[in-house]
Chain A
Amino acid sequence: MRDMIIPGDMVSDKPLRIANGFIQNGKTYSKVLGVYDAAERTIIPLEGSWMPRLEDSVVGIITEARPKVYIVDLSYFGRALLIPGKYDRYEFQPGDIISALIKNIEGKNTIILEDPKPLEGGTILSIKPKKIPRVIGKKSTMVRQIAEYSGTHIVVGMNGLIWLKDGNIALATEALLKVEREAHLSGLTDTIKNFLEKNKSE
C-alpha cells in the first residue's frame, strides 16, 4: 500500500532512520512530497535535485578543455571536473559526451570524475534525477527491456542525463518519458513492456 505524503506528514509512530525523513518526539515525519511505501519502509520523493554519491556512474558533456582539466556539464548546480592522470591518453573537445564515475566530491559542490568513456554521436535525453532508479529498474530490467525492444544503445547517468544512439530512438525516448511520468505507480515494468510491444510493430 502506498500513500501520498507531503512534508510534515507522519509516516510512522516509531522512530525510523530512513532517507528523506526526520524524527521528532519519537515519531517519523516526511521531509518531502512523495509516496510512502509502508512494506519497504521507504519514502520515494516525487521531485528533487540530484545529490552525487561516490562511485555513481554519470553522463556528461565536456564544456571546456583546459590544459590540465576538463570541465563537464552534468546538469548539476555545482561544478564537475575531469582531471586526466599521468597515463591517461584520451583527448576531448567541447561538446563531446562522456560517461564517467565519481571519484571524489570536494567541498560542497565540486565533483571530481574518473574513468571516462567517450560516447560518440547519438543524442541526450534529460530526465528528473529522482526518477532514474525507476528508469534503471531492479537489476536494470527496465532499461534492458527498453534497449532490447527499440534496438538502441542506452547509457543512463545517475545525474539524470541519458545517452541514446542508433535504433528506434523515438520509441526509446517515448518509453523513458513514460517511465518518468508514471514512476510512482506499481507494476511499471509490465506496463512499459505492453507499451513497447504495442508500438514496436507500428
Chain B
Amino acid sequence: MEAIDIVKTSYIKELIAKGIREDGRKANEFRKIEIVSGLIKNAEGSAQVDLGATRVLAGVKLNLDEPMEDTPNQGNLVVSAELLPLASASYETGPPSPDSIELARVVDRGIRHAKCVNLESLFVEEAKAWTVYVDLYVLNYNGNLFDAGSIAAMSALLSTEVPKYEDGKVVREERVSKLKIDNIITSSTFAKVGGKSLLDPTANETNAAYSRVTIATDEKYVRAMQKGMSGGFSAKEIEELIEVAFNNHKEQKDIIKKSQK
C-alpha cells in the first residue's frame, strides 16, 4: 500500500466509528448503476456497467466447439476477467493476477449455479455445440468488481444473439435468435470495517476492511458465496446479510431488465 492509502484507510475507520461512510451512503445502500448494453457491434452480446466510478465492460462471443465428453448434448460457459493497467495504478500487465482469477471464478460460479444460461439450447448437432465466452474487462477500479462484473455479465448475456449456422458454417453477420436465459442472478458484496458490514464497498473501504463476503442470489435461493480476507462473520451476521442481498436482488433485477429494450 502506498502512503496515501494508509492515510485514507485511517480516515475511513475514523468515519465508520462515527457511523458515516466516505460518500455519505447508508450501510446497505448501493451506488448508482448505469448499464449500456449492445455497445460492441462485433460481439454477439455486450454491456458496459458503471457502478459509481467503477466501470466494467463485458463482451459475449459464441464459438462452435465440441461439447465436453461428460455432457455430449450441452454447450459450455466460460467466464474470464482481465484487470487492465488502465483501471488502477496497482494493476500491471502480465499473467493473470489472483484478483482477476477470483473475479472470473466468482462471476462464473453465480451464473453457472443459478443455471442462467440454458446450456441444452446451445446444442447444434452431433459433436457440435456453442460455447459461450464471457469476457470481463475492468476499465476503471473503485471497489466492488464482483457485483459490477455480475451485472455486466448478466446484461451482456441477456443482449446476446446467436449467429446463423448453415451447412457446417457459421454466418456471423446474420443472427437468428436470442440466447436462452432462464434466470437472472445478481450478487451483493459486503466489506466489514470496524465491526460494520458495508454493502458495495469503494476502493478505500476495501483497503480498510478486514473481511469480505459476496452473496449471489436469484429470486428464491442463495446460489453462490465467496468469502475473502482474513477476518470472519458470525452466523447471525451472515443471515442478516443474506436478507439484504435478497432485497438488493429485486432492485437490481429491475435495472438489468430495464436496460434491455
A137 within 8 A of B: no
A61 near B23 with CB under 8 A, answer no
Residue with the greatest number of chain A CB neighbours at <10 A, chosen from B7, B14, B24: B7
Pair A75/B4 contact, Cβ less than 8 Å: yes
Tell me the dominant secondary structure on chain B's binding face. Answer: helix
**Given known A170-B23, A170-B24, contact A122–B2 (CB-CB < 8 A):** no
Within 8 A of B (CB), among A159-202: 161, 170
Contacts of A75 in B (CB 8 A): 4
- B8 CB–A CB distance under 8 Å: yes
Distance A170 CA – B23 CA, assembled complex (angstroms): 7
List of B residues within 8 angstroms of A121 by Cβ:
11, 14
Instruction: Kindly state whether residue A95 has any CB partner on chain B within 8 Å.
Output: yes
Q: Are the C-beta atoms of B23 and A124 separated by less than 8 Å?
A: no
Residues in B with CB closer than 8 Å to A62 are 3
Chain B proximity of A185: nearest CB distance (Å): 23
Does A63 have its Cβ within 8 Å of any Cβ on chain B?
Answer: yes
With a CB–CB cut-off of 8 A, which chain B residues contact A94? Answer: 3, 6
Whole-angstrom distance between the alpha carbons of A75 and B7 in the complex?
13
Q: Is the CB of B7 within 8 A of A124?
A: yes
Contact A124 B24 (CB under 8 A): no
| Min CB gap B47→A, angstroms | 27
Q: How far does the alpha carbon of A94 sit from the alpha carbon of B23 in the complex, in Å?
A: 26
Q: What does the 1/0 interface line of A48-81 toward B look like (CB < 8 Å)?
A: 0000000000000111000000000101000000
- B2 contacts across to A, CB distance below 8 A: 73
Interface membership of A11, Cβ < 8 A: no
Cross-chain contact A61 with B7 (CB below 8 angstroms):
yes
B11, A123: Cβ atoms closer than 8 Å: yes
Distance in angstroms between the alpha carbons of A43 and B149 in the assembled complex? 43
Q: Is A126 an interface residue (CB 8 A)?
A: yes
A123/B3 in contact, CB under 8 A: no
A163 closest partner in B (C-beta): B7
Q: By the criterion CB–CB under 8 Å, are B6 and A95 in contact?
A: yes
